[in-house]
């Protein structure tokens, strides 16, 4: 079962959030580092798929994937920085194409 995890700055250190389809766990006021992540979610014993941004702290998980929204933002940023680069443009177009497709079973207005 995929587990999405993320961290963000907060007035007192950071907030870490981990969630599955059934559960969300928040850790307030903790450090934003590998040692904290290891205490929350140990990559040696975690058997699920970790969905995260591309932060280095998440490297080392055997089953992982990167959050699509982060890839989309990165592709848009690269395209804006170098609008003549066709690889960047193609990546952005490909990532954005699924967003604009009608989803099966959803009635369009």
In this predicted model, what pLDDT tens digit does every residue of 15-45 receive, in sequence order? 888 888 899 998 988 888 889 989 988 888 8
Q: Rounded to whole angstroms, how far apart are CA atoms 17 and 6?
A: 5
For residue range 59-91, what is the model confidence (pLDDT) as tens digits? 888 888 888 888 888 999 999 999 899 999 999
**Residue for token digits 């559960």?**
23
Question: What percent of the chain stands above pLDDT 70?
Answer: 84
Q: Rounded to whole angstroms, how far apart are CA atoms 18 and 6?
A: 7
pTM: 0.63
Residue 66, number of CB atoms within 10 A of its CB: 15
Give me the pLDDT at residue 85, please.
94
Burial class (CB in 10 A: 0-12, 13-18, 19+), 22: exposed
Q: Rounded to whole angstroms, how far apart are CA atoms 8 and 57?
A: 13
């Amino acid at each position: 079962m995929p587990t999405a995890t993320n961290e963000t700055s907060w007035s007192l250190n950071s907030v870490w959030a981990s969630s599955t389809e059934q559960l969300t766990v928040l850790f307030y006021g903790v450090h934003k580092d590998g040692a904290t992540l290891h205490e929350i979610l140990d990559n040696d014993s975690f058997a699920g798929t970790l969905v995260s941004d591309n932060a280095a702290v998440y490297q080392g998980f055997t089953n992982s994937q990167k959050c699509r929204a982060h890839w989309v933002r990165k592709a848009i940023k690269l395209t804006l920085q170098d609008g003549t680069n066709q690889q960047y443009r193609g990546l952005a177009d490909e990532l954005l194409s699924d967003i604009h497709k009608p989803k099966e079973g959803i009635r369009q207005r």
